[in-house]
Amino acid sequence: MDQHNKNKLIGSVNWNFINTISQTILTFGVGVILARILDPGDFGLFGLTIIVLGILNLLLTGSISRFIIQKENLDSQDIGTSLGISILLSLLAYIFVWFISPLVASFFNETILTDLIRIYTISIFFISVSSILRGILIKKMNFKLLFYTDLIAIVCGYSIVGIILALNNFGVFSLIYATLVKELFTLITLYLFSKPGISFKIKIAKLKHIFY
């Protein structure tokens, strides 16, 4: 490894560490503030809601983002196919969640979960595209831009929006909407930083490389 690549690697590790620490501190700090405003039951409902999206994210974004990071000679067709299939899978997942959310709400005996899950799962469209754009920056080892992306999203999205809505008696929906805005900010900033040249055209020949 030459000196340039060595310095780049060290810089990437440092920025990734700074990003992790700053996210932890900010998220904890905002969580403490919101905990003083919202009821404990709001966090319980939010916790049940994010379980659904967590499972979907694991299933939908894992192999695609890994493909982006590991693919040698990544080209526009690779990116376009990844974006296209991500949006398609997200749409199918959202339709599935729309129909099962009343069943989940009934299981936990919380009717409000139907609306919470349906609204919160909108973020899967943002997350699926963001995971690809994030993969592009990781591939370039540009963790400095990832730090700025996550910082803007947490401060301008989750923190400010969440606190304002909580103070205005939105209850658990303040957590839902704040997370949606955070993911939207993440998507916008990642796009501005990575500038991939958006295309959603799926090339069938590329799919086997993504999922196999």
pLDDT for position 1: 53
pLDDT for position 117: 93
CA–centroid distance for 9 within its chain = 25
- Written as one letter, the residue type at 176 is I
The conformation of residue 75, written as its DSSP 8-state character, comes to: -
pLDDT for position 10: 75
Give CA–CA dist 82/71, Å, rounded. 12
pLDDT for position 62: 66
pLDDT for position 118: 93
Give CA–CA dist 132/69, Å, rounded. 9
Residues of the chain with pLDDT under 70: 1-9, 59-63, 195-212
Task: Give the pair of three-digit tokens for residue 117.
Answer: 């899950």
pLDDT for position 191: 85
pLDDT for position 205: 63
CB 161 within 8 A of CB 178: yes
